[in-house]
Structure 1
């Protein structure tokens, strides 16, 4: 169930393009959309917490750095790096750099969380990075003309994306998944929303269509996704969770094909196979024997 919840969260993240496209058409910039996302999520979580989860609202002030880690160092930093990388390079390259995050998670998990490093994880990371690059249809020649700093910013997005798993894993030793999700987005909202309030764009939020996109963005790929991911992260190693979460570009690609009738190439299909294969490989328990091997062993005994 924990693995399914993480995969569900990644699928919800893959749907973010639907809401972002709607808000972009309405005239909102990338960082304004990020602000709308964290702001609407924080409001919903505070309301839900006040009604149903009051006992999960209390935190120890000494643990505030953990939520600054998930809210500012992960959510805000990751989004800034990602959208800056998109502006300086292009979406496929930025997306491919973003999905270096499992490598960061595994490295940081070994250094700070005491998780074990093995060939299975390394193989899965390699498979997900290759698969993500193929889904984004990036080649080595595409990145050669970009400034070195833009590449570092793109890698920064992968690092920021990974930090949620690291800080979140530590926070979940003391707090519930709901508490982690609530204070992550409240912290991010406190940082971002003041710069948005009072601008000309604020009044456009009350447009019915824009409001639906804003609420949908805050609910589906944010509140539901991060709560599900945090719930799964509580029970699964950070490194495994990060690898499972790479089904997000698969979901995003399928969204483009189904909803926007975008073309999917053979390279992208192979990339999807790489990602799903890597996710399956890292979650097959060690020592599990495949059916055909058991059949061969049974035949040998006779």
Structure 2
């Protein structure tokens, strides 16, 4: 691995780790917004609209491509919107641990799909890292430590959340060389915003998102929990490839557990600590894996 590739890997993984941290912080803010009366649908709409406006301004200021005629943009935007909806349905009907573990089967799915697209088996390091990361997520989520709630709709929703997770990751990789990370996410969140607005506006504009006690949190979720981390993820994927980036994104539940311990005083069990260590080992294994970010065939 050349020094340039080493820098790409290092900065790519650092960007994804920062994105995971921001998502974890945004999850805590979102839980506070839900307690204040904001619904998941309202927050999903607001975060998509804020991200689209902010990314559009940056895209215009940097003078990036304004080309839109690519069907993959629609799939990307729908995946960005529906992954949130599917996950919210899953955690409503299942134990949160079950929903988290099923959603984070997405990296393994991405490894399989990437291997099929390239017509070759994934590297041993990537395969082992995916397995270790999934096991770490199982431990961090606390699966099996609480009473499990399971039903068919919840399981389908959780499975769909994993599929949409894999979809936006792969389509981000396919489009990022053409549009850049900001351009890809701008287009994706425009489509996502239009979907949410079509669903929300017939019900009226929600007053909850404009209240003084909720607006700062909503703006943070839109910028710090959506615009910035998704752009970082897209750029990171450009450096390290989709399957490795998705595995690195399993740092999110680890960061969430750490923040819950630090900010909310929630104790971590030995099993959760072991799970966190496993995820870190998986990401470290990817970091030292030899390889480069060669151009990939489009989806």
1:46 and 2:56 equivalent?
A: yes
Deviating 4+ runs (over 6 angstroms):
none
Q: What's the CA shift for 1:140?
A: 9.5
Which one of the candidate residues 52, 55, 67 is aligned to 1:59?
67
Contact 1:240 1:283 in 2 (8 A): no
Unaligned runs of 5+ in 2: 1-10, 292-299
Which one of the candidate residues 70, 73, 77 is aligned to 1:71?
77
Q: What's the CA shift for 1:274?
A: 0.8
Q: What's the CA shift for 1:199?
A: 4.0
Q: What's the CA shift for 1:158?
A: 1.2
Q: Which residue matches 2:222?
A: 218
Query: For residues 240 and 182 of structure 1, what CA distance do their matches in structure 2 show?
Result: 23
Q: Which residue matches 2:143?
A: 138
Contact 1:12 1:225 in 2 (8 A): yes
Q: How many residues align?
A: 281
Q: Which residue matches 2:133?
A: 128
Query: For residues 59 and 122 of structure 2, what CA distance do their matches in structure 1 show?
Result: 38
Q: Any idea what the Cα deviations from partners look like across 1:3-58, whole Å, max 9, x if unmatched?
A: 211211122112221221221022122222211211121122223334x22x2250
**Residues 163, 206 of structure 1: alpha-carbon distance in 2 compared, 3 angstrom cutoff:** same
Which one of the candidate residues 202, 207, 210 is aligned to 1:203?
207
Q: What's the CA shift for 1:136?
A: 0.6
Q: Any idea what the Cα deviations from partners look like across 1:58-112, whole Å, max 9, x if unmatched?
A: 0141x1x22112110x212211211111111121111111111111111111123
Matches within 5 A, 1:1-302: 1-50=11-60, 52-53=61-62, 55-61=63-69, 63=70, 65-72=71-78, 74-113=79-118, 116-139=121-144, 146-197=150-201, 199=203, 202-286=206-290
**Higher Cα Rg, which structure:** 1
Report SS of the residue matched to 1:221. helix
Contact 2:13 2:248 in 1 (8 A): yes
**Residues 129, 21 of structure 1: alpha-carbon distance in 2 compared, 3 angstrom cutoff:** same
Unaligned runs of 5+ in 1: 288-302
Give the TM-score of the pair, scaled to structure 2: 0.87
